[in-house]
Amino acid sequence: MDDLEIGFVCKNSSKFYVEGKMKLAVPFVIEYGSTIKEKVFLEMPTGEVWFGKYVKGSDYVEGLSELMSFYGVRPYHIVLFNYSGDEHFKLRIFNECGVEICYPFSCPLSSHLRARRNDPFIFAGNMKLDGTEIDKLASTFKFNVFHNFRGVHDILISKEHLTLQTNYKVISSSDFEKLGMDEAVQSMEFCFEQNSWQIGLFWKKGCLFFDKGWYEFVKSAKVVEGDICVLAKTAASDKFKIAVLSKVLLTQWSLTSDRNIVDQRFSWVKILKGSSLDRGSVEIPRLFARRLGSELGRDINLLTADGRVFHGKYSVSENILYGLMDLISAYDIYKNCLIGFEYVGTSTFNVSIFDSLNMDHLKEITGEFISDILRKIEMDEAEDGNGDEDENEDVPGNLLAQNNDEDVFEVNDVTILENEQHDDSLAVNDVMELDENEDEEEIVGVNEQFDVTGGGINSFVITLKRSHVDEKCHGVYCSTRCYELYKGWDANTIVILNYRGEKSEVVVQRKKRSCRFGKGWNDFIRKSKLREGEKLEFRFHIPYNIQVSKIN
């Protein structure tokens, strides 16, 4: 397993966050759980190595309380795992703002908890969070990682905002008008995902004031001086979702942060919603743009691990990355896939893609490849002399003003499916927070290219993609047109795939109406020597037997 390299995502939503544990992606556990050693090594980008314990048959690595405390891993932080075989993992951590954390350099384990309390560049304080604090993290995470084009006003928290008074001057009358409000509005509602606060409004000599409802909000939300509260639109004109950019993170990502104190990596992640897929554009997380937005040119280069280069456009005034349709089409990226962007210089990003089962089928780009690409980009820019072009040329106008689709105005569009029976055999929504009213086939990620004219209701045709044949746990989905034939199967059902006289046993993965081939699929691909782009027909033959045929 020396050349093995498997990437996957651990998303610590409040539903799946367990202090001292990190959840491994279910397809990874199914395929490699039997080979992982009990004592595992977790290497951080700084080179520091932590130890954890993997219990056979479990989805978790345990014994990570000190690691999670040291790096401030909390609900709604994303952890990227890279597995290289046996007991070796590499970890990268992204905070609730969708940017990679600033890693503290190594210090003795006996002193690190005490040291971090006085270090402004590391998450400080108690890791025990109350419900409102977790709700605040959820709202901030969704604003930065899920949503686009919603921020309409920033409130910089001052000392006066935190003192008990009869009235507070928080938003100017002119900014209030820009929010589409006037003196007839008597109250505003501020909310996270679950908690909300009603704030009374009154006017005095043309100035707008908040009543004590504001104080109840700042105390409950535990915001501090220097935090920024971002107001985001909802369906109701007087109701705003709040995302909190903490003073600690703002300090870390400021231009004056001390690079001798932390190892800071300029990476960010985005989970794609339908509107982003339709437009081929995403809003870059605020903290990344705060630090490096002014350094990005209009033309952006996106490098994938298989050596391809895609091109996007960046609008610094709107903080939007346009031109992602080619990337989306090339890798069949669908709703709720996660894309990671690692800045490597010269307006260039490494791109990683994770599917709805939290698995990454693109390998890391080598440093040599990056160097070659950057040299070519720099030479091209020197020849073209286009470095000072207007960043908004040929870029569409403000999407907030233009956009009328439902993604701007959905209020509760990423709530956890609390009422679902958790199914570890598939867990398509495993630590992935989805819309309550999402179409089910979009949730399970059935982005396979089904030929609905092929066969009858007892068969389906599919074109194999890279992810189906790269031996990284991505078996195909059965068409839901065949639901009546597989609805009696459960997570432990074994089916036989018959291909050219060879039989392969494959365990199915089930959730709701979806059915996907799981453990054993890789063996089937190896044995059958199938390749990307080949078209297969899967015909249900007799119970638990499926005849597979290649279509020329």
Whether the Cβ atoms of residue 222 and residue 133 lie closer than 8 Å to each other: yes
Domain boundary, last residue among 35, 70, 94: 94
Domain boundary, last residue among 249, 277, 301: 249
Tell whether 473 and 521 lie within a shared domain.
yes
CA 395 to chain centre: 26
Tell whether 400 and 272 lie within a shared domain.
yes
Residue numbers of the domain that contains 450:
440-551
Instruction: Return the axis-axis angle of helices 213-221 and 131-141, rounded to nearest 10°.
Output: 90
368: number of Cβ within 10 Å? 8
Total count of domains within the chain: 4
Tell whether 452 and 535 lie within a shared domain.
yes
Tell whether 225 and 331 lie within a shared domain.
no
Tell whether 226 and 326 lie within a shared domain.
no
Tell whether 275 and 376 lie within a shared domain.
yes
Distance, in Å, from the CA atom of 229 to the CA atom of 18, rounded to the nearest integer, reads 28
Would you write out the chain's pLDDT as a tens digit for each of its 552 residues?
Answer: 456 788 999 988 877 788 899 999 988 888 888 889 999 999 999 889 999 999 888 889 999 999 999 999 999 999 999 998 889 999 999 999 999 998 886 554 444 444 444 444 444 444 678 999 999 999 999 999 988 778 899 999 999 999 999 999 999 999 999 998 999 999 999 999 999 999 999 999 889 999 999 999 999 999 999 999 999 989 899 999 999 999 999 988 876 555 444 556 789 999 998 888 888 999 999 999 988 988 899 999 999 988 899 999 999 888 999 999 999 988 888 888 999 999 998 899 999 999 888 888 665 444 444 455 555 555 554 554 443 333 333 333 333 333 333 332 222 222 222 222 223 222 223 333 433 333 322 222 333 333 333 445 688 888 888 878 877 667 888 887 788 888 889 888 999 999 998 899 999 988 777 888 988 999 999 999 998 889 999 998 777 889 999 987
The verdict on residue 126 lying in a domain is no
Tell whether 300 and 378 lie within a shared domain.
yes
The verdict on residue 454 lying in a domain is yes
The verdict on residue 141 lying in a domain is yes
Distance, in Å, from the CA atom of 472 to the CA atom of 361, rounded to the nearest integer, reads 7
The verdict on residue 425 lying in a domain is no
* CATH code where residue 325 lies: 2.40.330.10
Tell whether 225 and 303 lie within a shared domain.
no
Q: DSSP assignment of 153-208, as one string?
A: EEEE--TGGGS--S-B--S-HHHHHHTT--TT--EEEEE-SS-EEEEEEEEETTEE
Tell whether 287 and 406 lie within a shared domain.
yes
The verdict on residue 57 lying in a domain is yes
Tell whether 272 and 408 lie within a shared domain.
yes
| pLDDT digit string, tens, across residues 199-245 | 999 999 889 999 999 999 999 999 999 999 999 989 899 999 999 99
The 3-state secondary structure of 476-519, one letter per residue: CECCHHHHHHHCCCCCCCEEEEEECCEEEEEEEEEECCEEEECC
Tell whether 224 and 293 lie within a shared domain.
no
Q: DSSP assignment of 145-162, as one string?
A: II--S-EEEEEE--TGGG
Strand segments, DSSP code E, in 319-450 are 320-322, 338-345, 348-354, 359-360
Domain boundary, last residue among 249, 280, 299: 249
The pTM of the full predicted model, rounded to 2 decimals, is 0.69
The verdict on residue 117 lying in a domain is no
The verdict on residue 177 lying in a domain is yes
The verdict on residue 423 lying in a domain is no
Tell whether 175 and 311 lie within a shared domain.
no
